[in-house]
Structure 1
């Protein structure tokens, strides 16, 4: 069976448990938005809680990487999801039979989830390379990316259904069950890489991931490129909303629908990597896709036809799905075994820290730039992103060549 590795062994246990855990988290976040609207009549409470949770996750990222490099990652994932299941269960009982204000419980739950899932993300990412052989690494990443997109697409519907018919408590029970099943699966994941169990909790060990990225040329250059991407596209929903209400002269729901086409395109692109694409030169592929990504988005501000707008966003999402998979595959290959969790945690923490600035930039550009030229301005730095991606792959190739030469000399 050509793709039998997807439903076998450690990779199956990892992706299925990760999907269930991430789905429960996304489901709760969307339920939180619905709850804010139905209970308070506005989104301020939900947005504030989500922002606080994101800040909590960012602050704890150095600790999550350190923990994942020190302890058995499969067991760590099981403990995290088991704890989440317990939290959801306790909050269900407290909100049902206690007299604590529901808003306080939601805030506490969100902060706890952010604190522990910060560890889950870097841990699961760092565990992935040893669950598949290197030839299937990009396919495994593509499969997981497709699951993320599926979760994002169906979570709003399921969250709205549960909040409407069962209330927020119904969502907590569902999330508890999902986390419990996830924890059971993770108990059987093996972690064959040798753990640094003697590593002490010091400031130097906590920031070692950031230091190693600084000293690792390919990782540092890749970070430059993805950081620019983050600044440009964190506020993409704002750009879409401004453009759709102005150029297309349609209501808010159209903006959401257009964004969903981006997600569908990303899903298709990720699935293509899993089942069809066979690329030997990923450097040229990533650079080419980056450039074409900018070319497709640049004229979007001048588009007034809905079908053409959907086609462009679907195409951009498609390219984004392929590019994200190959860039993370490159990232995984540049990390080192002993520091992999800390390096991955630091890499994504830096990108996450730039998200608020991306939203601010989106607000500023939307005010200053005429809507027709908005997307042209957004994609102007894309050649710089392509340059950093190219340089990252090139330097990685030089380092691989140097290692091969050293092995030949020692032999």
Structure 2
């Protein structure tokens, strides 16, 4: 069974999981409202590409830098309390921002500060959430539960922009911030008082060991496992190659089909609906027995869709491929998280998830440093065609990598991985 999950937890796992997923959905809704509000306000107030870039950097750089430390904390301490702390930190910053705006009006520098501090909360929260789920959910239900979580996230992606736009049109900006504080408070109450988590193994730590030493141990654990290095390499390459499809399609739509707002709204909506459908399908189907086969199937669909987005001349067909891309994304994201939850030793799970957080938060913005300028010199259609072919090629070659594909086999089919080095101390128990 997963880390900390016992027979005593089995009777109440559905209630526990429903409460936890509900709390995270509430927290995400409030955070998304503020995220859109801050982004749009910077856009409307500055009309500056430089300021937009600075805002994006402020929003991802702290997450990238802090994630290795957050992974250590997720392995050292009570993950539930870390999630509560992260929600409380974000809510406190948001409340402060709302009060300042109420008293003094909007000040641009506060948007950047708020984005940076909220990014710190995200860095703490993401590894803890990914590592906590195996303590709540039976191993054979992890794919289904992660699929449900992905569907809830997709519903949020669909509804949050519309709700944020409506609130901004009828109420002062700070009203959205107060909504975030309320949703965060509800999420904190649910996690702190109603979600039950049992003790779990704690990573072996040498007395007096620094957090940097534990970070090195986490990376050493990844390097010492034959499956994790190719797995993270595979994830990284895909993230880089789908960056044009993720960031440049609105610009491509404006250039190729017209700059009407409804067209930009349509591509976001159909993509979100596709993600909802993909997450729901995965929650029922649970994917292939070999998790990597599900990821490779998604890889091939995303490659074909990226290529198609670069060649289709009709906007209706373009939307259809955008929706199909959305369907494929949960078939990639969800098995990736589940494989780590199933295969990584519980005491190292937080640090391993922190590496995934670093990949997901940093590689796309960094890749835009290449693809953004390229989009001014080369047509976006051509960029999508080339990256689509490369994604398809990666999907065709991945099954030839036996070690990578074996990582997706059920636990009983994969020999237990050993730590990169011998433990330096006894395994301790930590209360949940």
Whole-angstrom CA distance in 2 between matches of 1:6 and 1:39: 49
Q: Report the equivalent of 2:84.
A: 78
Q: Report the equivalent of 1:206.
A: 215
> Which residue of 130, 135, 148 corresponds with 1:130?
135
Whole-angstrom CA distance in 1 between matches of 2:362 and 2:287: 34
> Which residue of 170, 194, 200 corresponds with 1:193?
200
Instruction: State the Cα distance separating 1:315 from its structure 2 match.
Output: 1.6
Confirm or deny that 1:120 pairs with 2:130. Answer: no
Deviation per CA, 1:130-183, whole angstroms, max 9, x where unpaired?
211111101111111111111111111121222222222101110100111111
Whole-angstrom CA distance in 2 between matches of 1:219 and 1:180: 37
Q: Tell me the TM-score normalised to structure 2 length.
A: 0.83
**Helix, strand or coil: the match of 2:172?**
helix
Whole-angstrom CA distance in 1 between matches of 2:333 and 2:274: 12
Change (3 A) 1:346 1:386: farther
Deviation per CA, 1:35-61, whole angstroms, max 9, x where unpaired?
224444556545523321211111111
Contact 1:65 1:122 in 2 (8 A): yes
**Helix, strand or coil: the match of 2:201?**
coil
Instruction: State the Cα distance separating 1:82 from its structure 2 match.
Output: 2.5
Contact 2:289 2:410 in 1 (8 A): no
> Which residue of 206, 225, 236 corresponds with 1:216?
225
The 5 Å alignment of 1:257-336 reads: 257-277=266-286, 279-336=288-345
Contact 1:303 1:309 in 2 (8 A): yes
The 5 Å alignment of 1:27-176 reads: 27-41=33-47, 45=51, 47-97=53-103, 99=104, 102-176=107-181
Deviation per CA, 1:68-118, whole angstroms, max 9, x where unpaired?
111111122122222333333333233323x48632333322221111221
Whole-angstrom CA distance in 2 between matches of 1:367 and 1:47: 16
Whole-angstrom CA distance in 2 between matches of 1:109 and 1:371: 33
**Helix, strand or coil: the match of 2:114?**
helix
With 352-361 and 170-179 compared, the bigger mean Cα shift is at: 352-361
Deviation per CA, 1:346-380, whole angstroms, max 9, x where unpaired?
22213432222321332354345455544320122
Q: Larger % of helix: which?
A: 1
Whole-angstrom CA distance in 1 between matches of 2:48 and 2:172: 17
Confirm or deny that 1:24 pairs with 2:30. Answer: yes
Structure 1's unaligned 5+ residue stretches are 407-411
Whole-angstrom CA distance in 1 between matches of 2:266 and 2:364: 22
Change (3 A) 1:211 1:256: farther
Whole-angstrom CA distance in 1 between matches of 2:249 and 2:231: 27
Q: Report the equivalent of 1:344.
A: 353
With 71-80 and 186-195 compared, the bigger mean Cα shift is at: 186-195
Contact 1:17 1:186 in 2 (8 A): yes
Between the two proteins, the alignment pairs up a number of residues equal to 402
RMSD: 3.0
Instruction: State the Cα distance separating 1:67 from its structure 2 match.
Output: 1.0
Change (3 A) 1:177 1:154: same
Q: Tell me the TM-score normalised to structure 1 length.
A: 0.87
Contact 1:218 1:396 in 2 (8 A): no
Change (3 A) 1:61 1:259: same
Structure 2's unaligned 5+ residue stretches are 1-9, 419-432
Contact 2:239 2:363 in 1 (8 A): yes
With 189-198 and 79-88 compared, the bigger mean Cα shift is at: 189-198
Instruction: State the Cα distance separating 1:185 from its structure 2 match.
Output: 0.9
